[in-house]
Structure 1
Amino acid sequence: MQQSHTQNCLDSPPTDAISAVKFSPSNNDLLVSSWDKNVILYDVNKNQIRREFHNSSPVLDCNFLNSDKGIGGTLGGEINEYIFENQETIQIGKHQSAVRCTRSIDQENVFATGSWDKTVCIWDLRAKNFLTEKVDQPNKVYAMDSKGNYLVVGHAKRTINIYDIRNFQKPIQERESPLKHQTRYIACMPNGEGYAISSIEGRIGIEYFDPSPDIQEKQFAFKCHRKVVQDTTYVFPVNTIAFHSYWGTFASGGCDKTVYVWDISSRKRISQFPNFPTSISSIDINYTGSIMAIAASYTYEKGEIDHPPDAIYIKFLSEQDIRPRDLNQNKKI
């Protein structure tokens, strides 16, 4: 792939809706899950497929455990491990309903899954039976992320549970979403102080774990992914969020076909990438913070209609794209 261009498309994209794009923690490999029942491992540098893993049903989420293996959760409830070296798929467990979220937990062999069966499970590939914790949730799991010892779980009906994974049986905090409509995505801040949450009504909320009043006063929510056409405001779901590991800024993608980059400190928008052919279903930023993967894939927000083919764009980030505008804020937040 020629990096003289600021943006390219990956060859041989999935043939059905893309559910997740996730970069490796240590290189520019990209794991992609989709509704065509496949999980594909791409070498972004070479713009080619390294490995392809077939599943028994559509895959709703995927993640790396390390540079050698990944995980995926399916509509049928299966939790699969993918061994990159020999292209092997191993089913390690099963939920009673669709697995909506998979997240590694800062340990090479430990990860969490959240399901529509109203449970969150912790899996350890070193354990005899893999499943080490199973905790009931108040509603279906719609979004989830982890950082350090925190695991944040967002449900249907806008409830949020925050766990300390060292004592997982009971949440340390139970909250209501700051947004008025259904939760779509949760992403933890790279410094571990809080998380961003998005919803279907074009809003993002910034929340902090520390319950002290002076910290909670910093929380805020804002409108985004909206368009005004002839005095009519159109509001779009915010499907995905990705933080930059160094600058602490974050990008969001929505059904308005647009990716924006935001700065928490100044509460301002940093940049906007030109419109893509269709909805943005997933985004992620690589381990060096220099590349963003963008899945342009119709999310059926308007039902069954003709739509552009699914595509994965690779955007090479400049500091202007992602760095806070105020030079005094050019630091990790």
Structure 2
Amino acid sequence: MATTDFEVNPAPNDGVSGLAFSSQADILACSSWDNQIRIYQVQANGQTVPQAAYSHQGPALDVAWSKDGTKVVSCGADKAGRMYDVATGQSTQVAAHDDTIRSIRFLEQQPHVMVTGGWDKSLKYWDTRAPSSTPISTASLPERLYSMDTRQNLLVAATANRHVLVFDLNNPTVPYKQSFSPLRWQTRTVSCFTDGSGYALGSIEGRVAIQYIQDADKDRGFLFKSNREEGSNTIHSCNQVSFHPTNPATFTTCGSDGVVVFWNRELKRRNNALPKVNGTISNTCFNGTGTIFAYAVSYDWHQGAKLHNPNTPPRILLHPVSTNDLTPQPK
């Protein structure tokens, strides 16, 4: 970790599965394998204060905020989606699947609608103004959902067996495009560009694919190695890609090599890297203004149980974003 980074306390008791900042304030939500959702207020000096917490009945696997910052939603292995009201401090179940729910998001253009994706091979859309056990619409997937993201009218779902489905949310139940990942191995994460014009895929072989939606832009897409040690044949999983909210060309990658790298998408060039941490980095996110970058040092199970050390608890760190992080290195 950099000497200027701050640690979030208290940290979860088990692996960190998701991080999300409110777009309206410096409030960080975290989902964890200990079944808990924790919410922290980040103060001006970088220190954090626990603000709230609520529980799932199984490991919590993802967390997201509503556009107006009044609601937190989460999902997990209990097959339930839950919504926490910041004003009342109450959480209620607002979604259900027939198997584990892997990912959950609010739609940007329809702020009262959220979408969930699960291992039951389905996407389900829900109206949070009128909680019901019945979704307002459903889309079928060819395999179990591994990762999902949405920006503007774009939603991208990445599933097992390398399927990638692109949805235009004007017609949310039928894929606009369906293809296989250009990466040769299992998809680990998908993240949409802030303007909804494309997306990034990260895989277990430590590579990233930058993909554009429109055919006229497809030649701008490219693949690169994101999580590889210099002079080593060791391959590390790319666990998360996060796009900067106000500098859309800037994005980060992180993975089981314990390194966060800042990149420039337009110049296809590296900006900066944070010091390597002793552990794997499972999740990352920017705050709404792009001035704070959160990352979780938490085992990602890329080498199974043999490398899991229960005596190394997870940590969440806050990095003040610098000019170096946003500036491409010269060739």
Partners of 1:152 and 1:161 within 8 A in 2: yes
Partners of 1:118 and 1:140 within 8 A in 2: yes
Partner of 1:295: 296
Identity %: 30
Partners of 1:244 and 1:289 within 8 A in 2: yes
Partner of 1:274: 275
Paired residue type of 1:124: D
Partner of 1:117: 120
Partners of 2:270 and 2:329 within 8 A in 1: no
Partner of 1:227: 229
Structure 2 unaligned blocks of 5 or more: none
The structure 1 residue matched to 2:145, chosen from 141, 146, 149, is 141
Partners of 1:123 and 1:133 within 8 A in 2: yes
Partner of 1:13: 11
Paired residue type of 2:159: H
The structure 1 residue matched to 2:28, chosen from 22, 30, 37, is 30
Query: Following TM superposition, by how much is the alpha carbon of 1:325 offset from its aligned partner in structure 2, in angstroms?
Result: 4.8
In structure 2, how many angstroms separate the alpha carbons of the residues matched to 1:86 and 1:247?
34
> What is the total number of aligned residue pairs between the two structures?
319
In structure 2, how many angstroms separate the alpha carbons of the residues matched to 1:76 and 1:256?
30
The structure 2 residue matched to 1:166, chosen from 166, 170, 176, is 170
Query: Following TM superposition, by how much is the alpha carbon of 1:68 offset from its aligned partner in structure 2, in angstroms?
Result: 1.6
TM norm structure 1: 0.92
Partner of 2:80: 78
Query: Following TM superposition, by how much is the alpha carbon of 1:247 offset from its aligned partner in structure 2, in angstroms?
Result: 1.7
User: 1:206-260 deviations in whole A, cap 9, x for unaligned?
Assistant: 0001023xx111111001211145xx41110000111012222101110001100
Partners of 1:160 and 1:174 within 8 A in 2: yes
Q: Secondary structure at the match of 2:277?
A: coil
My pick for the range that moved more, 129-138 or 114-123, is 129-138
Q: Secondary structure at the match of 1:131?
A: coil
TM norm structure 2: 0.93
In structure 2, how many angstroms separate the alpha carbons of the residues matched to 1:283 and 1:241?
8
Partner of 2:191: 187
**CA pair 86-127 structure 1, distance change in 2 beyond 3 A:** closer
Query: Following TM superposition, by how much is the alpha carbon of 1:93 offset from its aligned partner in structure 2, in angstroms?
Result: 2.1
CA RMSD of aligned residues (A): 1.6
User: 1:20-59 deviations in whole A, cap 9, x for unaligned?
Assistant: 1100011100010001110011001151110011111110
Q: Secondary structure at the match of 2:325?
A: helix
Partner of 1:265: 266
Partners of 2:94 and 2:131 within 8 A in 1: no
In structure 2, how many angstroms separate the alpha carbons of the residues matched to 1:311 and 1:260?
18
My pick for the range that moved more, 35-44 or 164-173, is 164-173
**2:250 aligned with 1:246:** no
Q: Secondary structure at the match of 2:107?
A: strand
My pick for the range that moved more, 22-31 or 299-308, is 299-308
Partner of 1:331: none
